[in-house]
Amino acid sequence: MKQAVQSCEDIQTDGRFVEFHVHGSPRLFEFDKRTVNHAFENLLANAFKYSRAVNPAVNIHFKEKFCEVEVIDFGIGIPKDELNDLFQTFYRCSNVGDISGTGLGLVIVKDYIELNGGKVSVESSLGEKTTFIVTLAYNLNV
């Protein structure tokens, strides 16, 4: 996660950064670094893009049986009736206006997280914030 955060912060020209918080006792677990890093870079790029003037946030919660990572933007939010469509190829929400995109980033996020045995979900408040929640189970044999 720190690598993905650093990559996204390095290209910001407006001085914004990720508010980064870790909760619980960090644990080691196995996943494919390349695909998970790419997924988090996509989520963070969106968080910067949709937050525009505010720092996005990342909260990592190390829980008993899994790790939960929240990537939060404080931007336009997602209309409630469009939440189920977000992970469809080429889908873009009706309220994105002039914010550029292809509608592929979240599809990649979902595919890469699921390839690593995880899941991704989203919560949003229109006009306030959007939180993407990635859950990855620990490999109990590690």
* pLDDT interval class at 140 (50, 70, 90): low
Which residues fall within 8 angstroms of residue 53, CB to CB, at 6 or more apart? Answer: 14, 16
pTM for the model stands at 0.88
pLDDT, tens digit, 9 for 90 and up, residues 51-108? 878 999 999 999 999 999 999 999 888 889 888 888 888 878 877 767 777 667 899 9
CA-closest candidate to residue 85, choices 125, 48, 122: 122
CATH superfamily, domain at 2-9+17-137: Histidine kinase-like ATPase, C-terminal domain (3.30.565.10)
Of 100, 124, 115, the residue nearest 45 (C-alpha): 100
Tell me the C-alpha to C-alpha distance, in Å, between residue 103 and each of 46, 65, 89: 11, 32, 6
> Which residues make beta-bridge pairs with 131?
72, 123
